[in-house]
Amino acid sequence: MTDVLTPEQRRLNMSRIRGRDTAPEMLVRRLLHRAGYRYRLHARELPGRPDLVFPSRRKVIFVHGCFWHGHRCRYGRVRPHTNAAFWSAKLAGNVQRDRTVRSELTGAGWKTLVIWECELRDQVRSLRRLKAFLR
């Protein structure tokens, strides 16, 4: 199957994808802030620059997009047909890097939580999970 967008349209779409302050990340930040939690953002001194850092609790939260980080949900299983070899290597590299980063953080005494974009559809359940992690 070929791409339904022209190369220029695809390039424009891809250029607008950001690594921080994404909609799912902002949702998690709002949920936690409303619940009274305070955090640091994207701490450069930690491996992987976690999205939210709770230094006094030694806990970090990553908010992952399902497609970009290879979640097992239907959104994460989608693979582009155009330039398939590139995308396969790119996404597999992301998954491997995520594993390495979580391992480094655990080795340094940090607890990690990954929140997936698809899980945020149920905000009540997500907030419950976040609070349980931060206790």
113 neighbors 59 (Cβ within 8 angstroms): yes
The whole-model pTM stands at 0.87
Q: What is the number of domains present in the chain?
A: 1
Do the domain assignments include residue 1? Answer: no
> In this predicted structure, what is the pLDDT of residue 121?
96
Q: Which CATH number fits the domain that encloses residue 82?
A: 3.40.960.10
Instruction: Kindly state the tokens that stand for 120.
Output: 């945020």
Q: What would the pLDDT profile of 6-44 be if each residue is shown by its tens digit?
A: 888 878 887 888 778 899 999 999 999 999 999 999 999
Whether 2 maps to a domain, the answer reads no
- Give domain status of residue 63, yes or no: yes
Give dist(CA 123, CA 47) in Å, integer.
Answer: 28
Q: Each residue of 47-106: pLDDT tens digit?
A: 999 999 999 999 999 999 999 999 999 988 888 888 889 989 999 999 999 999 999 999
pLDDT in tens, 97-135: 999 999 999 999 999 999 999 999 999 999 999 999 999
Range of the domain at 17: 7-134
> 113 in a domain, yes or no?
yes
